[in-house]
Amino acid sequence: MKALFIGSTRGTACSLYYFTSLVRLGVDVVPFDPDYFTPRSGLEKILFRLRRGPTQDRVEEVSQKLISLCRRNHFDFAFVMAENFFGVETIEAIRTLVRNPPLFLYHSHDNNFSAGICKPANFDETLKAHDFVFTTKSQNVERYKKIGQSRGFYVPSAFEPMVHHPVRDVDSRLLGKVVDVSFIGTYDCSRDPIFEKLGWEHLHIWGDFWRKSPHFGKHANRISPEAVFYFEFADIISHSRINLGLLREEAEDRHTQRTFEIPACGGFQVAPRNEEIASYFKDGEEIALFGSVEEMCDKVRFFLKNESVRQKIAKAGFERCLNGHHTYMDRVSQMLEIAGLKISQSTRSHASAEKVPEKVPVVF
């Protein structure tokens, strides 16, 4: 089976997990990064900002390259990873000019109906043009139906076992430091009052754009204003007594990647209570959920004082991740199955045999 992967495969891109999952499942994958947003000149950089999107020339250039690629190669399917400017015109051109055009599968971690998402004016038409549309936002399935896309499916976020796993003390780069309460995530003003209420005595934050926070000046020693990835992410989670799995109001999050990544790293997670998260992890047994900021603060104080209970829940959450089919490979397999694309059993068995960590090390 041969696939065209349309999306970024750069080191820090979440889409890389989907690409590598396809490869490990035995699919012959050709990567194509549209790279719509890297400016080639100062003028183009200004135009990108003014338009909140790539220039039409750039979109057309990428379109012609993709059409040519599909005419020269046979692909069973194209996996389009959140490339919103890969438009309906290109899809229709490929279907017209290619003898056996691929199925088009679109997937996004973002809420495509959020005002903050960069997309073209006719994006609804593009979503309708795809053969299958997948989303980590369960509420968007119904929205897809309303714009005429009847084959929209909810597929949750995931974790990558080769990246998200417990980090032993001897391998840690934190030099013996253990964080009481950590949060890893991009700054959002809706989070300011949460941390104001929680207090900064035990808290440390990692993430982009936190210099914008009114708390940054006073608590700069407790905010590391850069994104963290891969080993550094797993290291912080593994060496934090409590990890906050907060959600973003703007994105209408009901869960995020962190929902699975935190327990996969052996971390103890405190997160908002909702039906979606509670369907994956048992409250009080595999995760600690809260219904208000006050309840969150109470649980943070309680679990900081009760190490044995905290470690028991963290271990159960870790085991749930390993045994619950929550890896990126599991998600990609689910998407291909929905689309009627069969992976051979021998390839699937070989992929499932890959090694993952078997137990949580003692990190506290």
Please report the DSSP string for 345-359 in residue order: HHHHHHHHTS----S
Residues 73, 52: Cα–Cα separation, whole Å: 33
Q: Are both 133 and 212 inside the same structural domain?
A: no
Q: Are both 191 and 95 inside the same structural domain?
A: no
* pLDDT score at 216: 93
* pLDDT score at 360: 41
Q: Give CA 69 to chain center in angstroms.
A: 28
Q: Are both 10 and 54 inside the same structural domain?
A: yes
Residues 55, 231: Cα–Cα separation, whole Å: 36
Taking residues 31-49, report their average pLDDT: 79
Q: Are both 150 and 186 inside the same structural domain?
A: no
- Indicate which CATH number applies to the domain containing 194: 3.40.50.2000
Q: Are both 270 and 126 inside the same structural domain?
A: no
Is the model more confident about 37 or about 128? 128
Q: Nearest 5°: CA angle at 111, between 335 and 139?
A: 70
Q: Are both 144 and 239 inside the same structural domain?
A: no
Taking residues 259-267, report their average pLDDT: 97
* pLDDT score at 315: 97
Taking residues 44-57, report their average pLDDT: 74
User: Over the Cα atoms of the chain, what is R_g?
Assistant: 22
Q: Are both 197 and 293 inside the same structural domain?
A: yes
* pLDDT score at 359: 40
Across all residues in the chain, what is the average pLDDT?
Answer: 90
Give a yes or no: residue 351 inside a domain.
no
| Residue 15 pLDDT class (50, 70, 90 cuts) | very high
Comparing C-alpha atoms, which of 45, 266, 18, 241 is closest to residue 166?
A: 266
Residue 93 structural domain: 2-155
Give a yes or no: residue 363 inside a domain.
no
Q: Are both 148 and 75 inside the same structural domain?
A: yes
pLDDT in tens, 319-339: 999 999 999 999 999 999 999
| Residue 46 pLDDT class (50, 70, 90 cuts) | confident
Q: Are both 140 and 198 inside the same structural domain?
A: no
Give a yes or no: residue 360 inside a domain.
no
Taking residues 143-156, report their average pLDDT: 96
Beta bridge partners, 244, equal 270
pLDDT in tens, 52-93: 678 888 889 999 999 999 999 999 999 999 888 899 999 999
